[in-house]
Amino acid sequence: MFVVRGVAIAGIGLLGCASAGPEVGVKHAELREAFRGDPEAAPEFAALPDVQPAHQTPSVLRGLSLARHVLQQGLPTPPEDRRFAVLQHWIDQTVAPWVEARRDSVDETKFQFGVETPSTAAATPVGSIAWGVLALLEENTASELAGIPSPAELDSEPEIAEIFRELVSTQARPFRSAALVKYRKCYELGTKVGDDVADWAAFCGLRYERVHREL
């Protein structure tokens, strides 16, 4: 029987798990007209709404530039040899450092935007944009980790393979939870600011619902 040693990725350092919280309660019909971006697209930079020229401050431009770069640094390509021992080595030596680097990059992006924590976020257009971008980074990290392949030893063991996939999903869940917290803050700030960032409020609210369905 295949032994999932901590499911291979149990040692990966994860960002702090955040509670999903209550539903945002976005009214789709009200927000569709203002929406720009794609709340149903893969969590990539192209999915984000445009930033109006008035909000393209130096901090926003720095944050966006770094976020674009971070999102281009996806999970390293897994080895063609999917034997457990080979995958374990890849996870220990390649995936774990990638997760740590991604964590640092999210923190640096937050610093470039000039925001601190969701609980202290001010209701400004920049705040809504920043938390929307940071949420996408968290969601992208979860999506990348979910792509870790199953060991070849499980190709003929579908039931155990399913357990492995569930455990991989569990490792990605803290990032989805962190994304929910940030999407919610983006939505809340955007709706307080008004029409200036209505597109970001719409995007984040709908994206929140999408990620929440995946938990």
Q: What is the pLDDT of residue 195?
A: 83
Q: Measured between alpha carbons, how far is 127 from 114 in angstroms, rounded to an integer?
A: 9
| Domain residue extents for the chain | 31-39+54-214
Q: Measured between alpha carbons, how far is 194 from 188 in angstroms, rounded to an integer?
A: 10
Q: What is the pTM of this model?
A: 0.82
> Could you identify the residue written with the tokens 């803050």?
185
Please list the rounded mean pLDDT of every run of 10 residues in the chain (215 residues).
35 37 45 65 95 92 97 96 95 95 96 84 88 98 95 94 91 95 95 88 95 88
Q: What is the pLDDT of residue 214?
A: 83
The full DSSP string for 46-92 is GGSPPPPGGG--HHHHHHHHHHHHHHHS-PPPPPS---HHHHHHHII
Sign of CA dihedral 169, 170, 171, 177: positive
| Token pair listed for 146 | 């979910």
